[in-house]
Chains A and B, each alone.
Chain A
């Protein structure tokens, strides 16, 4: 888990919470201790072996809860042990002694800990975790986390899209968990409650919600089946002696009861095979037997009429079937389409937009191996993997300043941007532009985040400079800062020549500044549908010479080509 995803912090906080809950509700047992103590020790050691985590496994506040509970469970275990040894009177004396001394020590330790934790600005929590605890935190302080679409809070339709029927079954499952509240079901309740909260804060934590929702709705379904089949069984055994029932119904219900019988037999068989589990099973059976007897009595009271229970069974099965159909559809349509190859259906068949791979293949084969490519960080991993080139920032967003530097460059005027990129040893700048074919998630739409993230670190970039009356626009009403920034220029360079007007199909407007020239960048490659545009930084020497030329005379510009070739060799006159 630690190797794959940073979301492991959820689990290492959830388990201590459960343990704490068990202790508080007086459910402490040696089993709990045996399960938890090795988990913390081994889990922390193993997590520390993962390079990304390393000493974070003991340093950051996310892991603090597990250690705290680790201490508490030891104390509690010790107390129980003492309680077993000493007589009740002696125990009381010991408790008073230990509590008075222990409290003093604890206070001191806690004070030190709090002082330590409070000394760090984020209180030892990483930005992402803090934004989970306080949903408004990210938008206030770290725009880089808020900028990611999957870090936004989800909408209600997305809940129904993702978990569909389960949204209704989950509450029923929670109720079913409470009916007899055991250790396990309390964990499930805790799991679903926390995951619902977290998924409400970030869309992508829907991943955490999904298994919890599946488990609880599974419990709900099994309870419902239990009730319905039980009542059918009861009605049939009652009815067979009294009245005649339709043959079809009896056959179906007997089949069901048979399957039930098979199900109940199975655990017994496994219990025979594995003696270690046998004792547990026995315990449970002993525990359950009185409850089942009680249930049987209840059933007699709560038995539903035969027809309604059969119909509702069928409905439940139908519901499940529809849910499966929905899941297959959602997996195929929403989650399987690669975002790198886009397709559109038109009257003359399927049209493929393979522009991303076109650009990456071009970078891979036609640039130097050591060339560095700057782009917004969304395309970092893709460029690294597909184009095999070094990137300045990538999807591993750990270095906020670095991303802010690129954001600043993109939102600066050309010359300042050139200087930033040159200082980063960048050779090519890659921008994604959807204005020609109407691809909405392009860099112009992401641009405000670049301004915000850049402005967060470099205060001379101010968001209001890019907004006209609080509105983000790129048409003739746009601010001059916006129309002169690098991102605008790289996206719309010579765009007006395609249709004569410069109509942007994503923003549905004509662009503000149509005819302009690039002085510090040159177009290196543009893909077939203009979705990816790659620009090359002009070399500095040439630029300076161009300047001096301009001041002297214009005629020298015609003879620039042989001179340019001369600049490749360093100092040909020496």
Chain B
């Protein structure tokens, strides 16, 4: 008797799960995009894509999830995805940020990668909403020719699709691509497409089924320097005596077309616009206000070519590498500065302390391939926890500095593929008793005291055997 019941139960379960999966997949099909507009900005080496989607729920059940899909090559270079939705009507519109999470779908065609946007209010059937999506791509412009001489300008390829890759049916879509200059060697034509000035327009295309793809290739001039920090280690050291010491170690590379053959200083100096147009001459770092004791150096000493401008709201450090960086050339350097502690360290209501500091790299227009942020907490602090607005790898280390006994707790956060948009704040919470501040001075004082006591004792005690 029991066995058939069990079988029936199992069958029921399978049926139910099948039904569920159908429901789920059908929920994809419920939605359709009535209008999509995509603007791709190629003016720097970080590709910015603004996507405006008008999503309509054509199904019967309300849904609050909208999927974005990316081809796997793009997904590897994807730095951030942000989604905004406009609220209110007419003039009182406000932008509300929506949650975006990477999701895995089992039946993704051609290994497409998905991101899910969670709407604040579920979309009822028949309703429609407009979502603004911004995503940034790094390392997506491939220099071609891969090697250029000093006098040549840098040409790059950008690969994408004329049609937006989407799991939904798109009724109407247009793509605008903005190039840095009017020099466009070639671009794939997918009718209707045309070029005017620095803009290439693809579309409008009507009624394309889900997962439509139409590869395009644009070959254009991009002379902006491809400043890439291969590795950046930021160390933030908290001293409760009132200072926050930041040390940043950079490995900078020009990731554009590789320099080939001769470097001629006379050409570079006499015709700077024609020669080495894509070379990296200087970098701008935006530092917090009230920065002090800034240094800029490398393994062989101070680099004298830097300027610091400070005002009440921000500090700008303009640094020149020792030599102009051409494609493929590298440079390493260290930037360090001190900050007043009260600007960054706060106390919570439950007597914990937290550091509020920016996460990303302070250099403008720079991609960071690998970033390690180390927050060195003072000796004796406990229960550290970090709150970062995006997923990072975390672990704890111990660092020994001068006169340390138990070592300082270091919260290490690692993240790959960063863009300036990642310069948001993160918090590190910890508990710390102020009495620990006195440990090191007391240690020193007692050591000296003991030394003097020993001296006094030695002078006053007669150790001689013979009287």
Same complex origin of A and B: yes
> Which residues of A in the span 518-552 have a Cβ within 8 Å of any Cβ on B?
522-528, 530
Give A141 Cβ to nearest chain B Cβ, in Å: 38
Beta-carbon contacts of B293-317 to A below 8 Å, as 1s and 0s?
A: 0000011110111000000000000
What B residues does A523 contact at CB under 8 A?
262-265
Beta-carbon contacts of A486-505 to B below 8 Å, as 1s and 0s?
A: 00000000100110000000
A534, closest chain B residue (CB): B263
Pairwise interchain contact A360-B265, C-beta atoms closer than 8 A: no
Q: Is B332 an interface residue (CB 8 A)?
A: yes
What A residues does B305 contact at CB under 8 A?
354
* Docked CA distance A385–B300 (Å): 9
Pairwise interchain contact A526-B331, C-beta atoms closer than 8 A: no
* Docked CA distance A13–B371 (Å): 61
Stretch of B86-94, B125-133, B322-330 contacting A (4+ beta carbons < 8 Å): B322-330
Pairwise interchain contact A365-B332, C-beta atoms closer than 8 A: yes
What A residues does B301 contact at CB under 8 A?
341, 357
* Docked CA distance A354–B306 (Å): 13
Which of B262, B270, B303, B330 contacts A524 (CB under 8 A)? B262
Pairwise interchain contact B263-A526, C-beta atoms closer than 8 A: yes
Pairwise interchain contact B300-A497, C-beta atoms closer than 8 A: no
> How many residues from B make CB contacts under 8 Å with A?
23
Q: Is A366 an interface residue (CB 8 A)?
A: yes
Beta-carbon contacts of B63-104 to A below 8 Å, as 1s and 0s?
A: 000000000000000000000000000000000000000000
Which of B264, B300, B331 contacts A494 (CB under 8 A)? B264
Beta-carbon contacts of B261-280 to A below 8 Å, as 1s and 0s?
A: 11111100110000000000
> Which residues of B in the span 222-261 have a Cβ within 8 Å of any Cβ on A?
261
Pairwise interchain contact A361-B265, C-beta atoms closer than 8 A: no
Which of A341, A360, A365, A385 contacts B331 (CB under 8 A)? A365
Pairwise interchain contact A361-B322, C-beta atoms closer than 8 A: yes
Given contacts A352-B304, A361-B322, contact A524 B263 (CB under 8 A): yes
Q: Is A62 an interface residue (CB 8 A)?
A: no
What A residues does B323 contact at CB under 8 A?
358, 361-362, 525, 527-528
* Docked CA distance A341–B302 (Å): 10
Please report whether the interface of chain B is mostly helix, strand, loop or mixed according to DSSP: loop
* Docked CA distance A386–B298 (Å): 11
Pairwise interchain contact B322-A522, C-beta atoms closer than 8 A: no
> Which residues of A in the span 447-499 have a Cβ within 8 Å of any Cβ on B?
494, 497-498
> How many residues from A make CB contacts under 8 Å with B?
25
What A residues does B329 contact at CB under 8 A?
362, 365-366
What B residues does A497 contact at CB under 8 A?
266, 270
* Docked CA distance A490–B305 (Å): 27
* Docked CA distance A385–B298 (Å): 13
Given contacts A361-B298, A361-B300, contact A527 B266 (CB under 8 A): no
Pairwise interchain contact A525-B263, C-beta atoms closer than 8 A: yes
> Which residues of A in the span 341-394 have a Cβ within 8 Å of any Cβ on B?
341, 352, 354, 357-358, 360-362, 364-366, 385-386
Give B263 Cβ to nearest chain A Cβ, in Å: 5
What B residues does A528 contact at CB under 8 A?
265, 323
Given contacts A362-B322, A365-B332, contact A498 B304 (CB under 8 A): no
Beta-carbon contacts of A215-258 to B below 8 Å, as 1s and 0s?
A: 00000000000000000000000000000000000000000000
Given contacts A361-B322, A365-B330, contact A354 B304 (CB under 8 A): yes
Give A84 Cβ to nearest chain B Cβ, in Å: 35
Give A357 Cβ to nearest chain B Cβ, in Å: 5
What A residues does B300 contact at CB under 8 A?
357, 360-361, 364, 385-386
Give B153 Cβ to nearest chain A Cβ, in Å: 16
Pairwise interchain contact A527-B265, C-beta atoms closer than 8 A: yes
Pairwise interchain contact B330-A494, C-beta atoms closer than 8 A: no
B263, closest chain A residue (CB): A525
What B residues does A385 contact at CB under 8 A?
300
Give A497 Cβ to nearest chain B Cβ, in Å: 5
Which of B264, B270, B322, B332 contacts A357 (CB under 8 A)? B322
What A residues does B266 contact at CB under 8 A?
494, 497-498, 526
A536, closest chain B residue (CB): B262
- Which one of B264, B298, B332 has the highest number of Cβ atoms from chain A below 10 Å of its Cβ? B264
What B residues does A354 contact at CB under 8 A?
303-305, 322
A494, closest chain B residue (CB): B266
What B residues does A341 contact at CB under 8 A?
301, 304
What A residues does B263 contact at CB under 8 A?
523-526
Pairwise interchain contact B322-A526, C-beta atoms closer than 8 A: no
B300, closest chain A residue (CB): A386
Give B436 Cβ to nearest chain A Cβ, in Å: 41
* Docked CA distance A494–B264 (Å): 9
* Docked CA distance A565–B270 (Å): 29
- Which one of A360, A364, A524, A527 has the highest number of Cβ atoms from chain B below 10 Å of its Cβ? A364
A524, closest chain B residue (CB): B263
B326, closest chain A residue (CB): A366
Give B296 Cβ to nearest chain A Cβ, in Å: 13
Pairwise interchain contact B330-A522, C-beta atoms closer than 8 A: no
* Docked CA distance A497–B270 (Å): 9
B252, closest chain A residue (CB): A365
Give B151 Cβ to nearest chain A Cβ, in Å: 13
* Docked CA distance A371–B299 (Å): 20
What B residues does A525 contact at CB under 8 A?
263, 265, 323
A523, closest chain B residue (CB): B262
What A residues does B262 contact at CB under 8 A?
522-524
A362, closest chain B residue (CB): B323
Pairwise interchain contact B261-A522, C-beta atoms closer than 8 A: yes
What A residues does B332 contact at CB under 8 A?
365
> Which residues of B in the span 132-154 have a Cβ within 8 Å of any Cβ on A?
147
Pairwise interchain contact B322-A358, C-beta atoms closer than 8 A: yes
* Docked CA distance A488–B299 (Å): 33
Give A363 Cβ to nearest chain B Cβ, in Å: 10
Give B421 Cβ to nearest chain A Cβ, in Å: 29
* Docked CA distance A354–B331 (Å): 16
Beta-carbon contacts of A308-347 to B below 8 Å, as 1s and 0s?
A: 0000000000000000000000000000000001000000
What B residues does A357 contact at CB under 8 A?
300-301, 322
What B residues does A365 contact at CB under 8 A?
329-332
What A residues does B299 contact at CB under 8 A?
364, 386
* Docked CA distance A364–B298 (Å): 12
Give A445 Cβ to nearest chain B Cβ, in Å: 21
* Docked CA distance A353–B322 (Å): 11
Give A156 Cβ to nearest chain B Cβ, in Å: 36
Give A126 Cβ to nearest chain B Cβ, in Å: 33
What B residues does A565 contact at CB under 8 A?
147
B253, closest chain A residue (CB): A365
Give A19 Cβ to nearest chain B Cβ, in Å: 39
What B residues does A362 contact at CB under 8 A?
322-323, 329
A366, closest chain B residue (CB): B329
Give A434 Cβ to nearest chain B Cβ, in Å: 15
What A residues does B270 contact at CB under 8 A?
497
Pairwise interchain contact A526-B304, C-beta atoms closer than 8 A: no
Which of A364, A522, A530 contacts B265 (CB under 8 A)? A530
Give A572 Cβ to nearest chain B Cβ, in Å: 18
Which of B147, B328, B331 contacts A361 (CB under 8 A)? B331
What B residues does A366 contact at CB under 8 A?
328-330
A530, closest chain B residue (CB): B265
Give A516 Cβ to nearest chain B Cβ, in Å: 14
* Docked CA distance A360–B332 (Å): 13
* Docked CA distance A92–B323 (Å): 84
* Docked CA distance A530–B269 (Å): 11
Between A and B, 10 residue pairs with Cβ closer than 8 Å are A357-B301, A361-B322, A365-B331, A497-B266, A522-B261, A525-B323, A526-B265, A527-B323, A528-B323, A565-B147
Q: Using CB atoms and an 8 Å cutoff, list the residues of chain A in contact with chain B.
A: 341, 352, 354, 357-358, 360-362, 364-366, 385-386, 494, 497-498, 522-528, 530, 565
A-B pairs, 6 with minimum CB distance: A526-B265, A365-B330, A361-B322, A358-B322, A386-B300, A352-B304
Q: A360-B300, A361-B331 are in contact. List 13 more A-B contacts (CB 8 A).
A: A354-B304, A357-B301, A361-B323, A365-B330, A366-B329, A497-B266, A498-B269, A522-B261, A523-B262, A527-B323, A528-B265, A528-B323, A565-B147
